[in-house]
Amino acid sequence: MGLSADFMYEIINQVGNYGEIYENNLGVNTSLGLNRGLNALWTEGGLLYSPPLGGVTSSNVDFQTDTLSEVISRGKIICGVSTGIYGFSSQTDNGSWIGFDVDYCRALAAAIFNDTSKVEYVALSGNERFPALNDGTVDLLSRNSTWTMGRDTGLKLDWAGISFYDGQGFLIPASLGIDNASQLAGKTICVQSYSTSEYNLKSYFNDDFTQVDGSDEEYLNGDCEVLTTDASALLSKRAGFDQPEDHLILNERISKEPLGPLVRQSDQQWANITRWTLNTLIIAEEKGINSSNVDELKNGGDDETRIILGTEGELGSYLGLSNDFAYRIIKHVGNYEEIFDRNLGSGSTLNMERGYNNTWLKGGLLYSPPFDFGTVIPVVEPGITVNVIRLFGNSRGRHSTDILSEFRISGQVKMYALK
């Protein structure tokens, strides 16, 4: 990033960590007396969650392109998915792709083409995925890929956000008679090379294990005694075993694995499209907008719902998309809850719990920034009279003809004006 190697040390040494800054400026011992609330750590009931740092990794490729224009002229998105993790991305007998990560690609196709079939899927192994994105073989990855600082900065990538909060676990034969991960030291362990799983494993066991490069096949062949990767992938793999009950997933999670779709960092517009496609799925669940009621809510919903669905405002045009891009996503693919349930949750054989992957309103970590309104006037001269239909902050949601000068605006204020 062009900083000194100890920049994090300097931040913490000179300013402190988040908790210190909060407590010193806003906390219960200050005149503001604020509780941490949503701003507590994720492990303490709040939403603060940082991707891990990850290993050292870098790429010199910085592929510049206008991805949206290329996608539109090509007539389809090229989406990199995993080679097969049931529930996330796998192929049916007739060759079509299904799963949670696949539905994200379909959502993107709905946003751009109003047609979920306009996707070409490229199956990529753990080793192949980042080079394929860096060199332009795929437009994005939607594939159990952990957001780490090392990858984000070193590989010049941009995560759209977190679509699935995961952690690394261990799958073992029940016959091994072990119930705690620390007892696995010295064992032969199957792990995908070039993955965060490999990196975490080495530091967890201090290199005291024998590594076999591989996954479920090698594990079932008996090449190793233990299989480790993201717990969600372990659940999915075990569900496909002939005798799933003969295998245990230990309770320990030895890492944070925030998974989500990602793109090259050199194309900000494309990054925004992928980010707000993910946020559409999340905010739609927050607001109870789903594929069954989206038509009704398009005209009958509250202010923000109409903004999200493009009935009012022109958010889509800022992304280079149709203003009803979010409507198209929800209509054709559904909201986050619908996608989770049919691929991973109660509507699937995996029957996973929502856990951290629930909306923040129900105790999970999924949280979308709000969608907002229409045309932006970036700089407003104090004293100027403008008809305003909505303002940020407390005045948000006001209707028509408030006079700006009444608000005694000074300096720079971003606001939305009547078109």
Ligand X SMILES: N[C@@H](CCC(=O)N[C@@H](CS)C(=O)NCC(=O)O)C(=O)O
Residues of the shown chain interacting with ligand X in the complex, contacts defined by CB under 6 A: 82-83, 85, 125-126, 144-146, 192, 195-197, 215, 229-230, 233, 257, 259
Q: How far is the CB of 172 from ligand X (least distance, A)?
A: 16
Nearest alpha carbon to residue 227 among 180, 175, 190, 253: 190
The dihedral over CA atoms of 294, 300, 302, 305, expressed in degrees to the nearest 10, equals 30
Which three-class secondary structure string do you get for 244-282?
HHHEEECCCCCCCEEECCEEECCCHHHHHHHHHHHHHHH
State the amino acid at position 200 in one-letter form. N
Q: How far is the CB of 143 from ligand X (least distance, A)?
A: 7
Looking at beta carbons only, is 24 or 349 nearer to ligand X?
349
Nearest alpha carbon to residue 163 among 307, 310, 337: 337
Looking at beta carbons only, is 168 or 305 nearer to ligand X?
168
Looking at beta carbons only, is 71 or 157 nearer to ligand X?
157
Compute the distance between CA of residue 292 and CA of residue 294 in angstroms, rounded to an integer.
6
Nearest alpha carbon to residue 333 among 141, 86, 106: 106
Which tokens go with 349?
């054989």
By beta-carbon distance, which residue lies closest to ligand X?
A: 126
Question: Could you give the 3-state DSSP secondary structure of residue 157?
Answer: strand
Compute the distance between CA of residue 267 and CA of residue 280 in angstroms, rounded to an integer.
20
Compute the distance between CA of residue 50 and CA of residue 270 in angstroms, rounded to an integer.
23
Q: How far is the CB of 322 from ligand X (least distance, A)?
A: 33
Q: How far is the CB of 181 from ligand X (least distance, A)?
A: 17
Q: How far is the CB of 349 from ligand X (least distance, A)?
A: 18
Q: How far is the CB of 216 from ligand X (least distance, A)?
A: 8
Per DSSP, 154 falls in state I
Are the beta carbons of 77 and 140 closer than 8 angstroms?
A: yes
Looking at beta carbons only, is 159 or 325 nearer to ligand X?
159
Looking at beta carbons only, is 145 or 335 nearer to ligand X?
145
Looking at beta carbons only, is 83 or 269 nearer to ligand X?
83
- Give the burial string for 197-212 (b: 16+ CB within 10 Å, else e): bbbbbeebbeeebebb
Q: How far is the CB of 196 from ligand X (least distance, A)?
A: 4
Compute the distance between CA of residue 216 and CA of residue 169 in angstroms, rounded to an integer.
14
For tokens 């192994």, the residue is 125
Q: How far is the CB of 326 from ligand X (least distance, A)?
A: 28
Say what angle helices 268-286 and 100-113 make with each other, to 10 degrees: 110
Looking at beta carbons only, is 190 or 404 nearer to ligand X?
190
Looking at beta carbons only, is 46 or 55 nearer to ligand X?
55
Looking at beta carbons only, is 59 or 125 nearer to ligand X?
125
Q: How far is the CB of 202 from ligand X (least distance, A)?
A: 13
Are the beta carbons of 383 and 405 closer than 8 angstroms?
A: yes
